Amino acid sequence: MRSHRWFTPWLLVAPALLWLGAFSFWPAINTVRMSFTNAKPLGGTEQWVGLRNYTNLFSDPQVANALLNSVVYMAVCLPLLTLLPLGIAVLVEKKIPGITFFRTSFYLPVIASAVVVALLWNLVLDEGGVVNNIVQSLKWVQGPIPFLTDRWLVVFSSISLTVWKGLGYYMVIYIAALGNVSKDLHEAAAIDGAGAWRRFWSVTVPGVRGAMILVAIMICVSALRIFTEPYFLTGTTGGPGGFASSFVMIIQQYARGLLGNLGYASALSVVLFFICLIPMLILARQNRKES
């Protein structure tokens, strides 16, 4: 028995297919095409330039810098954001009085716009800001610490903001994963005399291994996609000499205005895509292995 006419499902998926084509696949194809041209943001004639954008890109110090920043970003965020949110998730998993309040509060940094968060941290980390006032009044340092202007300090300021904002986000993924951790195993370990710390490492962590790999991949990809935090902390320029720039900041800079170069920005985008693909392929391999 047929429950519907042949075109009904297509009618229902039509908007999704339209959006899929218009805002995912076509832009992806167009990005690759434009990366071989000198397309300008303001339109005008577009010429085929072959691999020139790509060869320029590999000798561009800005790109090397953005890559270096991404690697540092990953190296710092990866351990912090795979483990701290798991600890917090374990902490809020148990339904004790007031736990809803804590869960909700821990998630608030996630729902705040990166703009709001960056403005907030500007006030905290500025040379005249709170942290500098405290450490100076305690006579710990001579002059203000240049959190937002020093080449590396600004990267770490941006990282601390990302970690702070990420805690609640990954906490929620872990809350979902903890639901699948065997309670029996926990109790068996407890009877065998394993302490809480021991059970965390021997039961909880292996139990959420899948979620942990997923979280690690998400952190790697988001370290490559970072934009708003460094954009705002450095006053939109990427700091002194643009050294704190991220990949997406460079792409955005080339996307607009008279000096824009959509062709070059597109080539950067293609490279960004392939770099992001690496952690995702690792995830896909892990999933295949496990299933």
Partner 1 sequence: MSTTPISQSADALPQLEAASKGGKRRRNRGFNSTSPRELVIRYVLLLLVLAISIGPFLWQLSTALKSPSEDIYGASSGLIPQNPTGDNFGRVNDAIPVLKYIGNSVIVAALVVFGNIIGCTMAGFALARLKFRGRNLVIGLILATMVLPGEATIIAQYVTVKQLGFADTLLGVALPGMLGMINVLLMWNAFRGIPEEIDQAAIVDGANVWQRIRYIGFPAVKGSLAIVVIFAFIGAWDDFLWPLIVLTTPDNFTLTIGLQYLKGTFSNDPRLIAAGAMIAFIPIAIVFIAVQRWFFRGVGEGAVKG
Of residues 109-138, those binding partner 1 (CB under 8 A): 109, 111-116, 119-124, 128-130, 133-134, 137
- SS3 of residue 135 by DSSP: helix
Residue 287 touching partner 1 (CB under 8 A): no
Backbone angles phi, psi at 48, to 5 degrees: -75, 125
Conformation bin of residue 60: beta by default, left when phi > 0, alpha when psi is -120 to 50: beta
DSSP states along 219-288: HHHHHHS--HHHHHHTTTTTSGGGTT--HHHHHHHHHSSTT--HHHHHHHHHHHHHHHHHHHHHHHHHHH
| Count of residues interacting with partner 1 (CB under 8 A) | 107
CB atoms within 10 A of CB 27: 14
Residue from 71, 79, 225, 285 in contact with partner 1 (CB under 8 A): 225
Q: Which is nearer to partner 1, 215 or 262 (CB)?
A: 262
Residue from 76, 153, 221, 282 in contact with partner 1 (CB under 8 A): 221
Q: Which is nearer to partner 1, 64 or 135 (CB)?
A: 135
Measured from the CB of residue 176, what is the shortest distance to partner 1 in angstroms?
A: 4
What is the footprint of partner 1 within residues 29-48 (CB under 8 A)? Answer: 29-31, 34, 39
User: Is the distance from CB of 155 to CB of 72 less than 8 angstroms?
Assistant: yes
What is the footprint of partner 1 within residues 84-103 (CB under 8 A)? Answer: 87-88, 90-94, 96, 100, 102-103
Residue 172 touching partner 1 (CB under 8 A): yes
Q: Which is nearer to partner 1, 142 or 179 (CB)?
A: 179
- Contact letters for partner 1, residues 174-203 (x by CB under 8 A): -xxxxxx--x--xx--xx---xxx-xx--x
Residue from 227, 237, 242, 286 in contact with partner 1 (CB under 8 A): 227
Measured from the CB of residue 229, what is the shortest distance to partner 1 in angstroms?
A: 10
Q: Which is nearer to partner 1, 139 or 289 (CB)?
A: 139
Measured from the CB of residue 94, what is the shortest distance to partner 1 in angstroms?
A: 5
Alpha-carbon gap, residue 275 to 281, rounded angstroms: 10
Here the tokens at position 161 are: 């903001």
**CB under 8 A, 24+ apart: contacts of 52-58:** 53/263, 53/264, 53/266, 53/267, 54/267, 54/271, 56/264, 56/267, 57/264, 57/267, 57/268, 57/271
**Segment near partner 1 (CB under 8 A); pick from 62-70, 75-83, 145-153, 171-179:** 171-179
- Contact letters for partner 1, residues 239-268 (x by CB under 8 A): --------xx--xx--xx-----x--xx--
Alpha-carbon gap, residue 31 to 273, rounded angstroms: 11
Alpha-carbon gap, residue 62 to 208, rounded angstroms: 38
Q: DSSP alpha helices (H): ranges in the chain? A: 8-20, 26-34, 52-58, 61-93, 99-111, 114-125, 130-137, 151-178, 183-191, 196-199, 205-207, 209-224, 228-233, 247-255, 262-290
Residue from 64, 68, 71, 277 in contact with partner 1 (CB under 8 A): 277
**Segment near partner 1 (CB under 8 A); pick from 14-22, 59-67, 70-78, 140-148:** 14-22
Q: Which is nearer to partner 1, 72 or 227 (CB)?
A: 227
